[in-house]
Structure 1
Amino acid sequence: MPFESTALTIRAWVDGWVVSRGAADPVVRPWGFTVDVGQVTHATRHVLTADDEATVRKVAAEVAAPSVWLKVFADPGAVRSWVGPTWAVDEPGWLMSARLRRTPTAVPDGYTLTTWTRGGVTRALVVAADGSFAARGQIAPTGPTAVVDQVETSAAHRRKGLGSLVMRTLHNTAVDQGATIGVLGGTPDGRALYESLGWQVQAPLVSLFHVPHGV
């Protein structure tokens, strides 16, 4: 693994994610980090480096409120039983990391790739011949590490190598800026793509949002 511990990977993920999303600086807690995001449905997120039942139960009870999210790196089934009925699981996920290196990229015929950097975040956009959206992603380097974020391919343009194009483009950009290790929060849709490019799962990632009346 690129990192010696999951805790270090989590910290790198938090540091890069706040840059990628323009969120507030993370506040260090005894059990992890609190990040103010500032969205109507995602006001604040609490990222736990602790993965024991007692701590997860305690934090979930203390921060429960509408538009609050929890990120826990433990077995999804166990976490669901710890947090109680007022927390809903968004979707299964994984904390993933990889050694970054430059690789060649080639844009498939009929597509156009555009990249730009703003506020330390580089975005890659692929559009089809008619100008419609095909794929995208972004990366936020923070020194030796970089967080890949919001990678997406339109259903109409999948299995054409566009996801790999976006990822390789982002890798190259981060390497050019001095990053050597990549971190991301992977979803079921993206895991196969990431693993094909050398990314490894470091821990399960459970995303939960608060539902005041339970689910």
Structure 2
Amino acid sequence: MNTAFEVVPTAAAWTKGWTLTRGKAAPVSQPYGYKIDLGVPECLERHAMVDYDTGVVRALTDRLHTVALDNAAAVAPDGYQLSLSTSGAVSDAELRDVNGELAARGRVAHSDGVATFDQTAAVIA
């Protein structure tokens, strides 16, 4: 049993296993860790960082449509219904249109002062 936790080999093994379980292309080594090309419109790629670097995070997130996160209450745009649920450290959000059709969803886990977003997707009609 390996008692020493080494970040880089662990990240390499995890990203390879994750891509295998999801049927995706092998992870691509990057200076910051690994990039996983998903190739679907609602989620083009994922990134696994082996060390936190604000410059890398900024460069990756600058490519995304972003909104400021603060402690303000979440409000749905006109014509949409927002539902939020939280269980432990994980929160889920769903946004539905006037017909009740799913428009977007997302999940966030809060741990050690960090918010990790996953399974975030907009439904493209």
* Counterpart in the other structure of 1:29: 6
Give the secondary-structure state (helix, strand or coil) at the position aligned to 1:130: coil
1:46-71: CA deviation from partner (whole Å, max 9, x where unpaired): xxxxxxxxxxxxxxxxxxxx879436
The one-letter code matched in structure 2 to 1:70 is P
The one-letter code matched in structure 1 to 2:5 is V
- Scaled by the length of structure 1, the TM-score of the pair is 0.34
Structure with the largest fraction of helix: 1
1:147-202: CA deviation from partner (whole Å, max 9, x where unpaired): 1112211224xxxxxxxxxxxxxxxxxxxxxxxxxxxxxxxxxxxxxxxxxxxxxx
* Counterpart in the other structure of 1:96: 57
- Scaled by the length of structure 2, the TM-score of the pair is 0.53
* Counterpart in the other structure of 1:144: 113
After superposition, the Cα gap between the structure-2 partners of 1:74 and 1:104, relative to the gap in structure 1 and judged at 3 Å, is: same
Structure 2 portions without partners, runs of 5+: 40-44, 48-55, 62-67
Alpha-carbon distance in structure 2 between the residues aligned to 1:67 and 1:151 = 17
2:86 equivalent to 1:117: yes
Alpha-carbon distance in structure 2 between the residues aligned to 1:30 and 1:136 = 30
Aligned 8 A contact 1:42 1:68 in 2? no
The 5 Å alignment of 1:132-211 reads: 132-156=101-125
Q: How many equivalent pairs are there?
A: 97
1:73 Cα deviation after fit: 2.8
* Counterpart in the other structure of 1:130: 99
* Counterpart in the other structure of 2:76: 107
Structure 1 portions without partners, runs of 5+: 1-26, 44-65, 80-87, 157-215
Aligned 8 A contact 1:113 1:126 in 2? yes
After superposition, the Cα gap between the structure-2 partners of 1:155 and 1:30, relative to the gap in structure 1 and judged at 3 Å, is: closer
Task: Please tell me whether Structure 1 or Structure 2 has the larger radius of gyration of its CA atoms.
Answer: 1
1:71-125: CA deviation from partner (whole Å, max 9, x where unpaired): 63339xxx9xxxxxxxx95455666368953235331222111111235211100
Aligned 8 A contact 2:38 2:46 in 1? no
After superposition, the Cα gap between the structure-2 partners of 1:105 and 1:35, relative to the gap in structure 1 and judged at 3 Å, is: same
Aligned 8 A contact 1:42 1:69 in 2? no
Alpha-carbon distance in structure 2 between the residues aligned to 1:105 and 1:149 = 18
Q: Which has the higher contact order (CA 8 A, sep 6+)?
A: 1
* Counterpart in the other structure of 2:50: none
Alpha-carbon distance in structure 2 between the residues aligned to 1:74 and 1:123 = 32
Aligned 8 A contact 1:115 1:124 in 2? yes
